[in-house]
Amino acid sequence: MTATALSIRNRLPTSFVNYQLDNAYDEMFSSPGTPRDHYRTLQQTLLGLPPEELRRSQQAADLAFLHEGITFTVYGSKEGTERIFPNDLLPRIIPAREWAKIEKGLTQRLTALNLFLRDIYHEGRILSDRVIPRELIYSCKHFRREMRGLNVPRDIYVNICGTDLVRLPDGNFAVLEDNLRVPSGVSYMLANRKVLKRVFPTLFRDYGVWPVDHYPRVLLATLKSLAPENCPYRHDPTTVLLTPGVSNSAYFEHTFLAQQMGIELVEGRDLLVHDNVVYMRTTSGLRRVDVIYRRVDDDFLDPICFRPNSILGVPGLFNAYRAGNVALANAIGTGVADDKAVYAYVPEIIRYYLNEDPILQNVPTFLMSDVTHRQHALENMDKMVIKAVGESGGYGMLIGPHSTHYQREEFRTRVLADPRNYIAQPTLALSSAPCLTDGEIESRHIDLRPYILMGEKVTLVPGGLTRVALRKGSLVVNSSQGGGSKDTWVLREGEVGSELLDEVREQLGALATEIGPKRIVREKAS
Amino acid sequence: MSTRPPRNFFVEAFRRDAGMLSRVADSLYWMGRYLERAEHTARLVNVELQLWLDQSPEMGAGRWRFLLEALSAPVSDGPVDPTKLVNTLVFSRTNASSIVSCIASARENLRHVREQCSTHMWEQLNRVYLGVIEVKPQEEWFLKSHDFFSVVTEGAYLFHGVTDATMSHGEGWQFIQLGRYVERADTLTTLLETHFKRMTSDVERPVEGVEYLEWVGLLRDCVAFEAYCKKHTAEIRPMRVAEFLILNPEFPHSIRFSVDRVNAALHLVSDHTQRAAKLPTRIAGRLRAEISYSQIEEVFAQGVHAYLQKIRSDCTEIHDAINEIYFDYPIEAEIAS
């Protein structure tokens, strides 16, 4: 340890005393007491703040969340089902260079996944070429044979996606899960930002953070770009957000997005289908609906076509969709591409359609349907995470190192009964970041969920939801399992003096001579 | 298909913006009703608890029964236990008309349509809700109950203020007003009916003594005492009180005022929705005309009871008509048209 590092360590106030580093990658410290460059300003600010003030700010933020009703609903518990989503005040900071890689990697991945979805619902080239086993796709719970041969607007199946990334001990980001059905959490990203700007205004400005507030606008543009060709007002289609209703865990988000976009928030009972056209019931009669941002799962969308006992959906909706009279975002049947067993093939999918190497890596995955994989996984259950392929939200999984013998045996029986339905992954050391717990700063494990929008063009809002496993040592970040979140700051520039900044300057210079010489030259002269 | 707008584009474009979701309108309407009911109940119970301190026990028992009747709550025979009764009217979750239930229902209705209201409105109503559910009724609760009732009444005032200041006064706002004033006309009528049934004294002479307190109580129930005094001084004559609470066009807690508001809101809603909504506007218009051309002497000559009963049944009819035209219309007819 260098002398400077030591002296910094000695200067740490009580609040950093309990900050422990383990084998995981730490977002803030490269070694004990030495913060990474892009965290240095934050650390200085924190050192200058009395712990009491931090605690007060945290309380004020919690209260703001409670009053604004920024809550989510926990299933399966009777009491206090409406909870605030805990917010951690300390921002997670991502330098521009790292973000650029994430952006490129996710765009690549999503492009390939969309091509994949189009392919398997049409010619099925990837299956004929035996890159992916046919039975893997057809046995997928979320494969919708109803979608065969059906064309979706712009050939884009996944319009809204929230991919879960984790940072591995070597510092590289890897994709943990593609959420291609109805990803949620984006409202917390926006709410966290609002609170953080209030708490750390100067810090925020000094850092030069990319804004995220334009997300609803971009989402609306993406949705509108999907309007069916035959819709009477193609330049201004009637767009609605379909929610399962007030008892859904993400209901707050549905209302929030609808309000921010200025579109109607509808429930299944507000809609009806006549002659393959969707209408909503308004006080002035029936009005045609052109684009539906649906936050209802495939299964519940249309009781005639899918689950017959669903009361959340709209009878006849699928036929209207098939007739091309209404657009749905995301398309039906995208779940086949985020099946956790198909996930293992995504690097192959990228190579197959784009002829490129994947920019973001996958986490090693063992398919339980494969005999050797299964054997390996079952022998090492205490070191593995076992997941059901079609589940999400932290439900239906076993975390080996934190499991009891009984739980492992139970999972073993389940896996053996239906191997196709399970995969195993090594337990990952998610990266850790500083979090505020009762006025002290401790390290907690985190992940990252950026949001990608694909319509006329691909947009990533710089940032995303950083989810935090609030329990010490825990690796589960899901809100339903005691997770929280923190604001994610993507910096406009790299660390001062870095190569990247020079690179950016160089590019800007080139740009200046190319497109705007006069203006920039004049500025230089003055 | 060509992208050229159809010929009747402008007419159509306007029509397309018209009308909000029926479910949303329904929720806003009921939110208005529930909040008004909570405010009304809070005021009545509060006034009652104040009067209770001034009265003999026998007198008190009768008044409790009257309170239940005035709130259209079920009245049982036998002795009344004030603590229990107040708990039922204020805290009970099984009684859908208790203050806490009403506030919870108002909030639940607003929660269903949160994207329609401003954030400030939601925050304010949520605050009132959190304020009332944290109170746990205890023995000495009565003595400090005044604060509780101010949370409700002032919370409601603030909510309506915030609503007026931050929400577009469009269709949704009109539905809130509609709910609020239909409820007010209805609860006021019930209160007055109950009161006049019990008070059989000469309506033209000033009242005195114990009875005086009863009439002041009635005025306080309608936040009308000060306004009444300003017009008629503190001398209380039943007929004047009746005139003030039924026919006064300027005082916000009179039946006439409420019906005027219902009428105005219905006209604007019908303009917004471009729907010739004959039924509700016709009933409301008729009621308004009837009240605005009434004279209090006439009302008493006919019998105040029958007069109020007619108003109440009209209110029910207006409610049913709103429901039938805007919220729960038959779809077959719509598709055919």
- A165: amino acid identity, one letter: L
pLDDT value for A48: 82
Nearest to A283 among B1, B22, B130 (CB): B22
Interval A402-418 mean pLDDT: 88
Residue partners of A316: CB distance under 8 A and separation at least 6: A272, A273, A276, A302, A304
**What residues contact residue A437 under an 8 Å CB cut-off, 6+ apart?**
A444, A470
Helix (H, G, I), strand (E, B) or coil at A516: coil
Contact between A453 and A180 under an 8 Å Cβ cutoff? The reply is: no
Between CA A67 and CA B55 the distance in angstroms is: 42
Domain borders along chain B are 20-167, 181-337
pLDDT number for residue A137: 93
User: Which B-chain residues 241-260 have CB contacts (< 8 A) with chain A?
Assistant: none
How many residues make up chain B in this entry? 337
What residue of A is the nearest CA neighbor of B270? A284
Chain B residues closer than 8 Å to A246 by CB: 108, 111-112
- Looking at residue A126, what is its pLDDT? 95
Burial of A145 (0-12, 13-18, 19+ CB in 10 A): exposed
φ/ψ of residue A96, rounded to 5: -55, -40
The residue that leads in pLDDT, A16 or B165, is B165
Whether B22 sits inside 8 A of A270 (CB atoms) is yes
Q: Are B271 and B312 in contact (CB under 8 A)?
A: no
Average pLDDT of chain A to the nearest whole number: 85
Query: How many helices and strands, by DSSP H and E, does chain B display?
Result: 16, 0
Residues of A in contact with B172 (CB under 8 A): none
> Among candidates B158, B164, B185, which has minimal Cα distance to B176?
B164
- Whole-model pTM: value is 0.80
Residue A166 near residue A447 (C-beta atoms within 8 A): yes
Q: What is the pLDDT of residues B23-33, one digit of tens each?
A: 999 999 999 99
Q: Determine the Cα–Cα distance for residues A375 and A398; give it in Å rounded to an integer.
A: 17
Locus of tokens 């500025």 = A523
Contacts of residue B15, Cβ cutoff 8 Å, sequence gap at least 6: A284, B274
Nearest Cα residue in chain A from B121:
A68
User: With an 8 Å Cβ cutoff, are B115 and A258 in contact?
Assistant: yes
Residue A82 class from Cβ within 10 Å (0-12 exposed, 13-18 middle, 19+ buried)? middle
Rounded average pLDDT over A90-116? 95
B135: confidence class by pLDDT, cuts 50, 70, 90: confident
B211 pLDDT higher than 90: no
Helix orientation angle between A371-379 and A405-417, rounded to the nearest 10 degrees: 170
pLDDT of residue B321: 93
- Dist CA A168 CA A150 (whole Å): 39
- Looking at residue B313, what is its pLDDT? 96
User: What's the pLDDT tens digit per position in A115-148?
Assistant: 999 999 999 999 999 999 999 999 898 999 999 9
Instruction: Please state the ipTM of this predicted complex.
Output: 0.76
Tell me the per-residue pLDDT of A225-248, one tens digit each, with 9 for 90 and over: 999 988 777 788 999 999 998 888
Residues A475/A399, Cβ–Cβ less than 8 Å: yes
User: Does A205 lie at the interface with B, CB-CB under 8 angstroms?
Assistant: no
Mean pLDDT of A311-328: 94
With both helix axes pointing from N to C terminus, report the angle between A96-120 and A499-514 in degrees, rounded to the nearest 10: 70
Range in A50-54, A258-262, A277-281, B239-243 the model is least confident about: A50-54
Residue B111: pLDDT band (50, 70, 90) is confident
B17 touches chain A (CB under 8 A): no
**A218 to A192, A224, A347, A511: CA distances (angstroms):** 19, 10, 29, 26
Alpha-helical segments (H) within B55-81:
57-70
Residues 28-67 of A with CB under 8 A from B: 66-67
pLDDT of residue B110: 93
pLDDT at position A493 over 80 = no
pLDDT digits (tens, 9 = 90+) for A458-468: 899 999 999 99
List, as ranges, residues 259-318 from A with C-beta within 8 Å of B. Answer: 259, 264-267, 269-270, 272, 274, 280-287
State the Cα–Cα distance between residues B85 and A320, nearest whole angstrom.
Answer: 55
Which chain B residues are Cβ-neighbours of A239 within 8 angstroms? none
What is the model's pLDDT at position A499? 46
Tell me if chain B has a CB within 8 Å of the CB of A372: no
Provide mean pLDDT across the span A416-433: 90
Contact call for A280 and B21, based on CB within 8 A: yes
Instruction: Say if B230 is an interface residue toward chain A (CB within 8 Å).
Output: no
Contact status of A80 with chain B (Cβ, < 8 Å): no
Residue A468, CA distances (Å) to A68, A86, A248, B31 in order: 21, 9, 22, 37
Q: Which two tokens stand for residue B30?
A: 């009921």
- B19 and A282: CB-CB below 8 Å? yes
Residue A271: strand pairing partners: A280
What residues of chain B lie within 8 A of the CB of A285, using their CB? Answer: 19, 273, 275, 334, 337
**Number of residue pairs across A and B with CB atoms under 8 Å?**
89
The answer to whether A191 and A185 have CB atoms below 8 angstroms apart is: no
In order of start, what are the domains of chain A with their CATH numbers?
229-325 (3.40.50.11290), 364-427 (3.30.1490.270)
